[in-house]
Amino acid sequence: MKAKNYLGRRKFIRESSVLGLGVSLMPSFFSSGMKINNLSKPNIGLIGCGSRGMGLARILDSTSNINFISCCDIFPEKTNEVKKLDQNIEAFSEYEELISDKNIDGVVIATPLHLHFPMVKYALEAGKHVYVEKTMAYSIEETLEIEKLVNKYGKILQVGHQYRYFDMYYQIKKAIDEGWIGKVLHYESQYHRNADWRRPVPDPKLEKTINWRMYREFSGGLMAELAAHQIDVVNLLVGAPPMKVNGFGGIDYWKDGRETYDNVRAIYEYDGGIKSNVSSILTNGYNGYLIRILGTDGTMVVNRSKTTIYREPVTREIGTVDGVTGATIPMDSNTEGEVLEYDDGGKAPTEHALEQFSVSITEGKLPASNITTGKETAIAVHMANEAMRTETTQYWDKVVKL
């Protein structure tokens, strides 16, 4: 029997899509303490106009419910590129100046990780709403301090884990919760690339400024920059952060003076014995981004924009395997699976995320990727990095009491 026939009997009706933030899957409104802003289109400024920032700038400029009015970067050539989108966009070289502009309602922060905390702090204290790219902060201490600041000032804090605005993952969660693939106890995630992660440097003095991801004083490395996406997804699917983590990493190929690992592997454990294996490497890009969700009755294979479900055999087929008579014949990996349906609304996850940043500001709605979920993923990322550096198991209930 093919998985397609099996799943056809259990066709489910979507209760929601990412476009409306959902009525049952997405978070609800702030319960109290939030001043509702009646603005229909908030004025937004962008801080950090590098490769990611420029991508965000294009989306901000084309998003109908946002007024993209200013940008900031220490390199004038970067802000000049942004201004090509619209000459009316005001350019700043100091983030304090952009944030202090009385016309700004919210800021999008797309700078190196070590700059997230001071910029978020300055913005919240100035009464601005904040969208900060993942990972939320450079350390666990900074992460917990941001949480205090959000509670103190009552402003929106949205973290750039854009897959929380991708309907595919909510349909995956619904299928898991409804038992489509039985009991899920194992997740296997990879975010692999075959590249040195290095960018050209016109002046040696700018090495750490441009290649900041490769230096510990500025970056959380592969865990923070790549694997954080899937750590956040698994947290979403499980419905809780991990209890503990162990892992290994090293600089084993790109021996070019970098300080952050060129390969990382971590094993998280969640309540109920759920395990999540996470890897990110810079020496092989086969299958790049991938998540395998292993249930007792089936498997989900998740690519960037497609999820395929494969059914486990209903009955074991016994035969001869590798000379062993009476062995269970392995499942055929080429068995046709069922493609999970979802609705992306014709837009990429980041487009939905930035649209919903505006909605959160104007309607006081809690973002899907908010201070709590962003904090949990950031702590999980830093726990893994510490586990790899010290070769020890890191426990959630110990680090959150710092």
208-254: pLDDT as tens digits:
999 999 999 999 999 999 999 999 999 999 999 999 999 999 999 99
The reply to whether omega before 135 is within 30° of 0 (cis) is yes
Distance CA 115, CA 93 (A): 15
Residues 6+ apart with CB under 8 A from 227: 189, 191, 264, 266, 278, 279, 280, 381, 384
H-type alpha helices, 113-244: 116-125, 140-153, 167-177, 207-210, 221-222, 228-238
Q: What string of DSSP letters covers 322-342?
A: TTEEEEEPPP-TT---EEPP-
C-alpha of 290 from chain center: 14
- Which residue stretches of the chain have pLDDT < 70? 1-39, 314-323, 325-334, 402
Distance CA 388, CA 356 (A): 36
> Which pLDDT does position 313 carry in this prediction?
80
**Residues shown for the chain:** 402
> What's the CA angle centered on 126, arms 45 and 216, to 5 degrees?
70
Q: What string of DSSP letters covers 384-401?
A: HHHHHHHTS-EEHHHHTT
261-291 residue pLDDT tens? 999 999 999 999 999 999 999 999 999 999 9
> Which pLDDT does position 315 carry in this prediction?
61
Distance CA 164, CA 290 (A): 16
> Which pLDDT does position 309 carry in this prediction?
97
Distance CA 375, CA 380 (A): 9
Distance CA 249, CA 241 (A): 22
Identify how many contiguous H helices and E strands the chain contains and give both numbers. Answer: 13, 17
Distance CA 193, CA 132 (A): 24
> Which pLDDT does position 40 carry in this prediction?
79
Residues 6+ apart with CB under 8 A from 47: 53, 71, 72, 73, 95, 98, 99, 107, 108, 109, 110, 111, 119
Placement of tokens 């000032």 in the chain = 153
- Its pTM stands at 0.88
283 and 262 Cβ atoms separated by less than 8 Å: yes
Distance CA 30, CA 352 (A): 20
Placement of tokens 């690992």 in the chain = 261
Q: Give the orientation angle of helix 167-177 with respect to helix 228-238, to 10 degrees.
A: 40
- Here the tokens at position 288 are 């790049």
